[in-house]
């Protein structure tokens, strides 16, 4: 089987991601989130991933700009020397781009249940999003997207879990688009 998912983030250069030689079963589409002509929030014209990219995604993996503005001055030179400000800074709380991604996940995933609101059949797996975040974000996102909460139901996205990085900090979240 093939597995299809975008890598969403912002880079300062135009590097192409080629994983085909490493993972023959995975078809990966790298998307520079900031260069897409996205519909404004609240738009009535829903454009899904199939219409926009000619494909739908099974999983979304994202390393968006997530560093809170107040923490930008404390970054080490090896970080700021490698990435531009826009690829790092996620706004006041670091969630500006993350919020936008969360709102758009149901448009991007291939499951028809994400757009109809129906429960997945036994054959359908919930679609997932793995995202790297600031270590302050997992607890905030767990409250915001708690399964069964009004916000989670409205957005069609649920917080599933968080994982620690190699330094033991909560830096990755797993979201589900049921």
Confirm if 49 and 26 have CB atoms less than 8 A apart: no
Distance, CA of 56 to CA of 119 (rounded, Å)? 19
Whether residue 79 has pLDDT greater than 80: yes
Higher pLDDT, 11 or 121: 121
Read off the pLDDT of residues 4-50 as tens digits, 9 standing for 90 and up. 455 555 444 444 444 344 343 445 555 554 444 444 444 444 555 56
Half-sphere exposure of residue 91: CA atoms within 13 angstroms, side-chain side: 9
Read off the pLDDT of residues 125-167 as tens digits, 9 standing for 90 and up. 668 899 999 999 999 999 999 999 999 999 999 999 999 999 9
């Amino acid at each position: 089987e093939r597995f299809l998912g975008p890598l969403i983030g912002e880079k300062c250069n135009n590097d192409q991601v080629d994983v085909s030689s490493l993972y023959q079963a995975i078809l990966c589409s790298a998307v520079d989130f900031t260069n897409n002509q996205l519909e404004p929030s609240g738009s009535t014209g829903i454009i899904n991933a199939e219409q926009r990219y000619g494909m739908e995604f099974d999983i979304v993996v994202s390393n968006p700009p997530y560093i809170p503005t107040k923490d930008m001055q404390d970054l080490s030179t090896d970080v700021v020397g490698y990435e531009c400000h826009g690829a790092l800074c996620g706004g006041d709380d670091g969630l500006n781009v993350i919020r936008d991604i969360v709102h758009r996940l149901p448009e991007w995933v291939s499951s028809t249940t994400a757009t109809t609101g129906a429960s997945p059949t036994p054959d359908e797996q919930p679609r997932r999003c793995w995202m790297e975040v600031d270590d302050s974000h997992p607890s905030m996102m767990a409250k915001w997207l708690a399964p069964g909460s009004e916000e989670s139901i409205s957005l069609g996205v649920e917080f599933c879990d968080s994982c620690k990085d190699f330094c033991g900090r909560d830096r990755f979240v797993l979201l589900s688009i049921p």
